[in-house]
Structure formats: C-alpha cells, structure tokens
Structure 1
Amino acid sequence: MLTLHADSRGRCLAVRGEWIAAVGTLEELIATHPQARVRQWPGILTPGLVNLHGPELLEQAYHPDPREADTLGTEPLTGDALAALPMDEARWGAGARRGVQRMLANGTVAVAGELRNRAVVAAVRRSGIGVVGRLGVPGGVPALDPFASGVPVEFPPERESGSAARFAVFDVLDEDELAERGGGSCVATVVAGRIVYRRR
C-alpha cells in the first residue's frame, strides 16, 4: 500500500514498502495517487539524523531497563559504572535495543562507526537503523541527541524516488529552529518504511 507522508510545508514523500516511490508536494502526489493513505505531520520532513557516536553509545555504554531505574538510574552507564555491571550477550543486546529506541526518538536513522559486539550488531540489524562508516573517532560528547554532542550534525542524503524509506519529522518551523530545539522535537521516525517512533 502506498502511504503519503506530508509536512506542514507541503513537502511529501510517497512510501511503498521499504522505498520512496515519489517525492513532491502533497497536492501533486494526491493527484497522481488518489487511493494512497495520507499521513500529515506537524513540522518538517528531513532525511533524519546520523549519530556519529555509534560504538560509544551502544558498545561502550549500557542503557538500563526502566525496572532497574531504582538502582541504576535512567541514563546510559559508562566507565567504572559499566565495568561494575555483570554483562553478558543478553544484557548487551537488551541495552542496545533500548539505546536504539532512544536514538530513534531523537530522529536518528543511522549510526556511524564499526560495531563489533555480536549482540549489539544483532539488535541494530533487527531495528533497521542504518550503519555508516566514519573516519577515526569523532570529537564532541556522545549523546543520544546528535545536536547535544557538540559537533556539527550530519544528515543522510536527501530522500528521492528510489531512496530507502528512512526519514524523520520534527515539529519545528524550519532547519534553524531544529538546530535550536534539537532531536527532542522529533514527532516521528520512519525506518524501512515503518513508523518506528511516534511521539504521543
């Protein structure tokens, strides 16, 4: 089934399965695809964000289960706090899944860096989030919101017909406001044609 995702500026992506079928204005795509389902989002459509600190956030940090909040808190554990935890593959995989979900909630559609932990690799692969290469270790501070890392934010290439259906919508007026408000303004993230995060 074809789904039209449109933003408040009238920009629209037609999604069929895991791919972008067409790009245009909502008016244009409704005219050419009158039977399509329409999703209208507040804010702006973007190709999503790339988090440059993939290994640091998923293999050098543990994202606690909410049921562990009383003892471990809610923020990622690193360094000595991580070293004190008994970690096995199951725990690494579960932590990575929670970390990826928090990334998706910030509009991240891909992480940069080589992942080597088998449980983490499996969790990332199942999520559908992309993995891209990087040169060396980026500066800044690893953060689930790429805008909070202190380094320039990277975006994937613009979506076009034939691109993977991977993008994010932010409830802002424009890119300048997005830079000010950061990933917390994300209202929806789409990966492999599926809405994997939607703000309630």
Structure 2
Amino acid sequence: MRTVHAADLLRLTLDDEPRAGLAVLVAGDRVEAVASPEELAEAYPGVRVRRWSGTLGPALVHDGPLPEAPTPRERVHALFRLGVAAVLDAHVADPALRAAAVRNEVAVLPGARPATLVVGGRADLAVFDADGSCRATVVAGRLVHRRA
C-alpha cells in the first residue's frame, strides 16, 4: 500500500534548508517519489495521505547507548519517540536488545552515516516540531510512533 506523507516543510538531509510544498510517497519499505502532495495524489488516485504539522525528513541515526527502560522492546520504542530508525551495531551487542531492534525493523549499521531521504532508499522518516521534539516516526515504511 502506498502512503503520501506531507508536512508543512520537508528536508532531504538533516542539514538541508526545509522546503514547503513537497511530500514523500512511500511504497512498502521504500521511498517511491518526492513531489508536491497534489502531484502525488493525482498520479496515485485513492492513495492514503498522512498530513503532519512540522518538518518531515529523514529519521535519525542513534549513535550512543539506547535509552534505559525495563525491557529491550521498551528501549527500542524509546528511540522511536526520538525520531530514530537506525542504531550503531556496537550499541546493540546484547542479543535480546539486538533481537528487539531487528524485530522492529530498526536498521543496525556498522558505523555512523548521514541521515538522508532518497528516492529508492529505505522509508525511514520522522516529523519534528520547531522545538525539535518528534511528532511521528516511520521505520521501513511503517508508522511506529505518533504523538497526539
């Protein structure tokens, strides 16, 4: 199923200047297109559209120990509340923690890399408010966190 994620602003990298008038089309676990919400809705009639206030862009790569929580699952879900979709291999060495990350489709990376949103790439997205708090996180095309 395809979903258009549209927000007030969009950035393709964390350093990009945010731009208005663009949205992301997600198909499965991939970014299929970046265009205006109107163009995407016209090209894909009946597509589900999720509208967010804030700035949509690539989800973050967490480069430290995972937040403390009672269970490995809760530690992974704490990342989603931060807008994270990838962690470094060194920080999920515990088998239970790694299994929770893999089960939730968190990307486990051998080293740090810049967070980018690219057509054909994995659909790891996050929406942030002006104060930097995370409004929503999409991991491999699945909405895993949404703040009311």
Would the alpha carbon gap of residues 38 and 133 (structure 1) be closer, same or farther in structure 2, given more than 3 Å must change? same
What displacement does 1:155 show?
4.4
2:40 corresponds to 1:63:
no
What displacement does 1:113 show?
3.3
Partner of 1:150: none
Q: Please state whether the residue corresponding to 2:87 is helix, strand or coil.
A: strand
Q: Give the count of matched residue pairs.
A: 136
How many percent of aligned residue pairs carry the same amino acid? 39
Q: Please state whether the residue corresponding to 1:103 is helix, strand or coil.
A: helix
- After superposition, where does 1:76-155 map in structure 2 within 5 Å? 95-114=71-90, 115-134=92-111, 155=114
Q: Please state whether the residue corresponding to 1:162 is helix, strand or coil.
A: coil
What displacement does 1:12 show?
0.7
Contact 1:48/1:109 (8 A) holds in 2: yes
Contact 2:5/2:51 (8 A) holds in 1: yes
- After TM superposition, the runs of 4+ consecutive aligned structure 1 residues lying more than 3 A away are none
Partner of 1:26: 37
Give the one of 7, 27, 36 matched to 1:16: 27
Contact 2:5/2:24 (8 A) holds in 1: yes
Structure 1: where are the runs of 5+ without partners?
A: 65-94, 136-153, 173-180
Contact 1:169/1:186 (8 A) holds in 2: yes
RMSD (CA atoms): 1.8
Partner of 1:51: 62
Q: TM-score, normalised by structure 2?
A: 0.83
Structure with the greater alpha carbon radius of gyration: 1
Q: Deviations over 1:123-160 (max 9, x none)?
A: 1100111111237xxxxxxxxxxxxxxxxxx7412x22
> How far apart are the structure 2 equivalents of 1:134 and 1:164?
17
Q: TM-score, normalised by structure 1?
A: 0.63
Partner of 2:147: 199
Q: Deviations over 1:85-131 (max 9, x none)?
A: xxxxxxxxxx2211111110010111123232211111110011111
